[in-house]
């Protein structure tokens, strides 16, 4: 049955209002402050950026700094799902996808271009492999180091004092005080309490030709 000219299909207006509300909501909430913080130059304004993210709803502890850009994605104002402890440093280029909480502990260091993703999909049918979406909380415990360009997937806990090597993709929980590397990330070695276990910072962050051993 066709709709008479000039008459809106039943239910269309409520749907339009709902969609418009979902799309405009971030602009009408504190989320806009997070977008302002993200637009600041990555090499400066660490203090201002941190204050703006706090005002947007991110829980950031004392002495913690967002030194570079941090991109927050998620429906509405998802900023309240992100918690950062005390004396934690985000170097920059961090992407947090907040469909579930992300809890970052104290004394954590996060390198360049790291991704923390709480949203993924179940495998679907052949015609639509990205099936039903699901969310999982990410926990990064105290003292961890996430080196540059690593990725942490939904539902993962990274244990206290663990190190994730550059470029690793973490798909499962990481035991405390271990070094994980690779795709998918696997335990490479256990780390002692004093950090002198044959693992050097340059070996995790720099190409081989620029490592301390190469020099």
> Which pLDDT tens digits describe the chain residue by residue (215 residues)?
455 555 555 577 777 767 766 665 555 456 666 777 777 766 667 888 899 889 889 999 999 999 988 999 988 778 999 999 999 999 989 999 999 999 999 999 999 999 999 999 888 888 888 888 889 999 999 999 999 999 999 999 999 999 999 999 999 999 999 999 999 999 999 998 876 655 555 455 533 333 333 33
205 C-beta neighbours (distance < 10 Å), count = 17
Identified catalytic residue from 59, 95, 112, 121: 121
Query: In this structure, are strands 130-135 and 119-123 parallel, antiparallel, or unpaired?
Result: antiparallel
At residue 103, φ and ψ (nearest 5 deg) are: -115, 115
pLDDT in tens, 92-122: 899 999 999 999 999 999 999 999 999 998 8
- SS3 for 60-96 is ECCCCEECCCEEEECCCCHHHHEEECCCCEEEECEEE
DSSP 3-state percent helix, strand, coil across the chain (nearest 5): 25, 30, 50
Report pTM. 0.76
**Is residue 121 annotated as a catalytic residue, yes or no?**
yes
User: What pLDDT, on a 0 to 100 scale, did the predictor assign at position 177?
Assistant: 96
Please state whether the peptide bond connecting residue 213 to the residue before it is cis, i.e. omega within 30 degrees of 0.
Answer: no
Within 8 A by CB and 6+ apart from 51, the residues are: none
Domain at 12-210, CATH from 2.160.10.10, 3.40.50.970, 1.10.3720.10, 3.40.50.150: 2.160.10.10
User: What pLDDT, on a 0 to 100 scale, did the predictor assign at position 70?
Assistant: 92
CA dist., res. 93 & res. 3, Å (int): 50
- Domain locations in the chain as residue ranges: 12-210
CA dist., res. 99 & res. 15, Å (int): 23
User: What pLDDT, on a 0 to 100 scale, did the predictor assign at position 42?
Assistant: 65
């Amino acid at each position: 049955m066709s709709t008479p000219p000039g008459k809106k299909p039943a239910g269309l207006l409520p749907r339009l209002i709902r969609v418009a509300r979902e799309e405009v909501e971030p602009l009408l909430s504190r989320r806009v402050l997070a977008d302002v913080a993200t637009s600041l130059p990555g090499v400066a304004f660490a203090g201002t950026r941190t204050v703006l993210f706090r005002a947007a709803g991110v829980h950031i502890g004392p002495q913690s700094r967002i030194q570079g850009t941090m991109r927050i994605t998620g429906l509405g104002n998802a900023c309240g799902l992100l918690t950062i402890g005390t004396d934690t440093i985000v170097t920059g280029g961090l992407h947090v996808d907040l469909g579930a909480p992300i809890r970052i502990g104290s004394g954590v260091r996060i390198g360049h271009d790291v991704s923390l993703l709480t949203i993924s999909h179940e495998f679907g049918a052949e015609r639509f492999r990205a099936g039903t979406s699901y969310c999982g909380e990410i926990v990064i415990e105290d003292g961890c180091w996430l080196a540059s360009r690593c990725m942490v997937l939904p539902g993962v806990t990274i244990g206290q004092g663990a190190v994730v090597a550059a470029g690793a993709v973490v798909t499962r929980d990481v035991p405390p005080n271990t070094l994980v590397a690779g795709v998918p990330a696997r335990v490479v070695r256990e780390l002692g309490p004093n950090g002198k276990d044959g693992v050097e910072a340059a070996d995790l962050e720099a190409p081989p030709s620029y490592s301390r051993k190469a020099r």
